[in-house]
Amino acid sequence: MEKDKTAAKKKRYQKKSLDAAEVKVESAEYTLPPQYDTSVQDDQYVLKKECICKKYQQRASQC
């Protein structure tokens, strides 16, 4: 019985792992949001990214 449960869990895990989308980052740059001035700390920078979701061939924001 335990083997059946383990096998079922493994199948579910394998199925979920196949559903993962592949994302390719085409370009990335750091920018400051408009409400910040130039005296911000390093951890306040925001990463803007343009990427395409290969699985669906559309922008990652739509994936």
- Distance separating alpha carbons of residues 40 and 28, to the nearest angstrom: 20
Domain edges within the chain = 21-63
Q: Is the pLDDT of residue 26 over 70?
A: yes
Q: pTM score > 0.75 for this model?
A: no
Residue 24 has pLDDT above 70, yes or no: yes
Q: Which residue has the higher pLDDT, 21 or 47?
A: 21
Question: What pLDDT band is residue 63 in, cutting at 50, 70 and 90?
Answer: very low
